[in-house]
Amino acid sequence: MKILRRYMFNRLGNFNYLIGCEQTQQAIALDPLDGQQMLDLAEQQGWQIKLIINTHEHHDHIEGNPVVAAATGAEIWAHKNALGKIPNQARGLVAGDIVELGSIRLKVLYTPGHTPVHLCLLAEADEHNPVPVLFSGDTLFNACAGNCFNGGDVDTMYDTFVSQLNPLPDETLLHPGHDYMKNNLAFALSREPGNSDALSWQAKVKNVEHDDMPVMTLGQERTYNPFLRLHSDAIRSTLKQEFPHLGEGDRDVFKALRALRDKW
Ligand SMILES: [Zn+2]
C-alpha cells in the first residue's frame, strides 16, 4: 500500500489521499476535493482509480467525486447513513466492513461525532503493510479533535474517541482530513503550557509547508493532543479557570476542551 497525500490550497486546508496498490496499480481516492488533481496524480503513478471513498458528507470531502467518477467509472462508497446525502453513493458501508483492492485492506470504523455518518478507515498491520494506518477524516486531527458544530454532536464524538480511537496502538500512523497542526499545537499549548512535546513539535513544524507536514503516530499524538490527554493535571487545572464547576469525568474535560477550541 502506497499513500499519496496532497494538500488542497483551499480555505479549509483539506488533505486529499490516493491510496494505491503497487502490485495491481489500482487505487482508492479518499475524500477527493480536486478531482482533476487526483486523476493527474493517478496517471503519473500509472494507477487506475477503482474506488472513491468519502469519510463523510461535507462538501469539502465529496466535491471531487463527480470528476473522478466520470473519468474512471469508480463507485462512490461511504457509510450507510450517508446514503441520500452524498450524490450517487453506490454502497453503504458499516463498521467492520473490509474494503479490499489488490493488496489494500481497509477496515471501516464507524466514528460519528463530527457528523452522524462519519467513518474512519484503518489499515491494520499485515504482510503488505508493516504498521497500522488510520485515515481519520474530520474525527482526529494532529493535536485536536474535529469540530461538532456542523451537524455533529460532542457527546457522540467523545464516545467515538473512547470506543474507536483509544484502543488503537501507539505505532498507528495518522492521516487526517485537514492540516491544522500549527494552529492546533498553539491551542494545545494554551491548555498545557509546559508540554515539552508540544513545544518541540511546534518548533519542528514552524517553517514546514503544508505538503511536507510530518505524518505522526498515535503514540506521538498522545503526548500533546489535549483530546487524548484528558487525565493531564495541567489540562484539568487550566480548564478550571474557565470552567470553575468542571466535573471530574473525562467526558466533561473533553467537552470543555471542544467548547474552547470552537472559539479559538
Ligand atoms: Zn467535515
pLDDT of residue 211: 95
Grid cell in block for residue 233: 493535571
Ligand 1 centre from 103 Cα, in Å?
29
Quote the ligand 1 centre to 127 CA distance (angstroms). Answer: 33
Task: Tell me how far the alpha carbon of residue 138 lies from the centroid of ligand 1, in angstroms.
Answer: 5
Phi, psi (degrees; rounded to nearest 5) at 11: -60, -35
Cα–ligand 1 centroid distance for 63 (angstroms)? 12
For residue 193, how far is its CA from the centre of ligand 1 (angstroms)?
29
CA of 147 to the centre of ligand 1 (A): 8
User: What is the distance between the alpha carbons of residues 25 and 184, in angstroms, rounded to a whole number?
Assistant: 36
CA distance 103 to 129: 9
CA–centroid distance, residue 166 to ligand 1 (Å): 21
**Cβ(210)–Cβ(13) below 8 Å:** yes
Question: Which pLDDT belongs to residue 61?
Answer: 98
Average pLDDT over residues 237-248: 94
Write down the pLDDT at residue 128: 85
Using the mean position of ligand 1's atoms as its centre, give its distance from the Cα of residue 157 in Å. 13
Q: How many domains does the chain have?
A: 1
CA 113/CA 208 separation, integer angstroms = 30
Give residue 159's identity as a one-letter amino acid code: D
Query: CA torsion angle for 215, 218, 223, 229 (degrees, to 10)?
Result: 130
Which tens digit of pLDDT belongs to each residue from 190-235? 999 999 999 999 999 999 999 999 999 999 999 999 999 999 999 9
CATH number at residue 139: 3.60.15.10
- How many angstroms is it from 113 CA to the middle of ligand 1? 10
Q: How many CB atoms lie within 10 A of CB 69?
A: 20
DSSP letter at 161 equals: I
Mean pLDDT calculated for residue range 38-62? 98
Question: Domain limits at 115?
Answer: 2-262
